[in-house]
Structure 1
Amino acid sequence: MQTNSKDWRYTVMPAVFTWLKESESGALEIDFDVTRKQAAHVLAAKGKGGSRFGGLVASGTLGENSYLTPEQRLALLKSLSDIAQEYEVPLISGAAAETKEALASIIEGLAAVGVNTVMVMPPKTKEAPSDEEMYAYFALAAETARKVGVTIMPYNNPDAAGYHALSTDLLRRLSALPEVVALKISTLDVSIIETLIVENSDLKVLAGVDSVTVHAGLAGACGGITGVGTIFPKASITMQEHVLKGEWAEANKISQALNSISYLDAQPLLLEYLKFAMGIHHNDPEGGLRTYGKKLTQQEIDDVRARYLLAKERLERLGLAD
């Protein structure tokens, strides 16, 4: 599947959750069947205009990437590769490492199990590298991607996830690498997107924070990667349909309806919050609370439930809750 910056889909892509179950010993393990079923369900969804999601993001932040072992991660992605192929969308996953050499090895492994595009996060180091060190890290990732036949997506997410921030100058340089299919900008400051697009209108940028999807589209983003859209796919796709048509008032109605739950996507516990909301949506709240991440307090559980119900009520009025 060819995916390059010239033909990257103008759409939104779901970041699917990794569903877990208890083994006979009581330990948590990946429930491949339910995870595959949920991914297929989301990719089959359509917006009011008839379009679908344009990619499948798996084992990302919402897919518990940082908690899975390398073996678990590769097994999960391999199990989802045929789902992505069935719906003719690229399979996307994240990668980060302390060194550029370790990152190259991860990219090779991801390509071997069917990943088409790798979201490359900054180095996992305590001290922020210089721009030159950062560039060398991403440049080797691009070189490795070319050798194994995949593309990369530099991922800037300093807000909720706490990764080292990529400077605007560095993002400009990285966007020029031929293996870069798009940039993923996960920040509430969408002026970064506008600055990059004003300078290069051909650049593809995906927004990574649900609460600013419409604002990012107005700034020039070609789409986004969404966690909330995995819970409410019809609403997410329809909102993007309006964004692409420049129907800002209609898009903003949906954004406002989703606001109570979209807010959670910019919080440090976004994985735990949104996964629980997904569990409520599918009548499996216990499953939504099974995570390798943090255990939610009762107050947090009650807050997420209230936010989910408010979003659902608002979307029902728009005919977008299913």
Structure 2
Amino acid sequence: MSIHWNGVMPAVFTWLKESKSGTLEIDLDATQKQAAGILKVQGKGGSRMSGLVGSGTLGENSYLSTKQRLSLLKSLAEVAKEYNVPLISGAAAETKEELAKIVEGLATVGVDTVMVMPPKTKAVPSEKEMYEYYALSEATAKDVGVTIMPYNNPDAAGYHALSTDLLMRLSLLPKVTALKISTIDVSIIETLLLKNKDLKILAGVDTVTVHAGLAGACGGITGVGCIFPKASVTMQEYVLNGEWAKANKISQALNSLSYLDAQPLLMEYLKLAMGIHHNDVAGGLRTFGKKLTQQQIDDVRARYILAKERLEVLDLVS
């Protein structure tokens, strides 16, 4: 699939249900329905989400087994195909050989692009080791017919930062089609584009969508956009058109909720907000992750209500 990165892509939640034994398992039907509902929404300018991100940080990725992850992505590939958008998923491993096997597996279930996170090692890899880690994933991607998106997430605990020099070197590899930069410091985006104005860079934190666009990002991957897709798509339309005041107005309306996207419990918080939005609080609280306290639940609800009230004024609640 030829991928056009100009736009916003939802990192969808993995919906769970209780099995007969009382344990949690993936609800594939609910997850598919959720993804399709997001992809069919149009912004005020008529555009839609330009891709689908599955089994990412917001999709319970770190808690899923390989079998669960591949089953989930296979089901989401059906939705992506129906809406003619690329399916993207993440991958991280301790060794480059393990990473290569993950890339091979993702290709078998319909993933088009693999977001490759830095090695999951305690010791900081050398630049040479880091390059070799990504280079093998790129070579593997070429063999199995997918593309690669190096994922720099220096604000997240446990992930090593990729230097701008390394990102530039990686961007030259044939199967690297875009870079994902998840940080509130968007200056790295402008630094990279000053070196190569043709780079495709996606922002990964909802709080900086407009600022990332000002720095030159061509799009973004969103969690808040799963809850309010019309607002997210419309904001990106304004960003791409350079209508900064209009874009910023939407960003300000979303601020109370976007704040949660930059917190350690972003998956638990935003999944609950999604549950509240769809009158399924119990579903929103079903997670393999951390259990929220009542104070945290109340805070998420208050933030959701504030964002919804602001967006309703702008006619951006679908």
Per the normalisation by structure 1, the TM-score is: 0.98
Are 2:236 and 1:244 equivalent residues in the alignment?
no
Residue 47 (structure 1) aligns with:
43
Unaligned stretches of 5+ in structure 1? none
CA contact (8 A) 2:42 2:48 kept: yes
1:2 deviates by: 2.7
The answer to whether the aligner puts 1:2 opposite 2:28 as a matched pair is no
Partner SS for 1:66: helix
Alignment of 1:247-266 (within 5 A): 247-266=243-262
Report the Cα distance in structure 1 between the residues aligned to 2:156 and 2:94, rounded to whole angstroms. Answer: 20
Correspondence for 2:133 among 122, 130, 137: 137
Q: How many pairs align? A: 318
3-state SS of paired residue (2:58): coil
Q: CA deviation at 1:128?
A: 1.3
- Fraction of identical pairs, as percent: 77
C-alpha distance in 2, partners of 1:166/1:199? 16
Structure 1 residue 209 corresponds to structure 2 residue 205 = yes
Offset at residue 218 of structure 1 (A) = 0.3
Deviation at 1:136, TM superposition (A): 0.2
Preserved CA contact (<8 Å) 1:47 1:238? yes
Cα deviation code 1:132-173 (max 9, x no counterpart): 100000000000000000001000112135411111111111
* Partner of residue 274, structure 1: 270
Preserved CA contact (<8 Å) 2:181 2:202: yes
Match of 1:11 among 7, 16, 22: 7
What is the distance in 2 between the residues matched to 1:88 and 1:103? Answer: 27
The match for 2:172 is 176
1:198 Cα deviation after fit: 1.5
The yes-or-no answer on 1:113 pairing with 2:116 is no
The alignment's C-alpha RMSD in Å is 0.7
The TM-score normalised by the length of structure 2 is: 0.99
CA distance in 2 between partners of 1:198 and 1:67 (Å): 38
Of 71, 74, 87, which aligns to 1:91?
87
Counterpart code for 1:97: A
| 1:287 aligned counterpart, secondary structure | helix
Q: Tell me the alpha carbon deviations over residues 221-274 of structure 1, each in whole angstroms, 9 at most, x when there is no partner.
A: 000000000000000000000000000000000000000000000101000000
Gaps of 5+ in 2: none
Matched residue type, 1:119: M
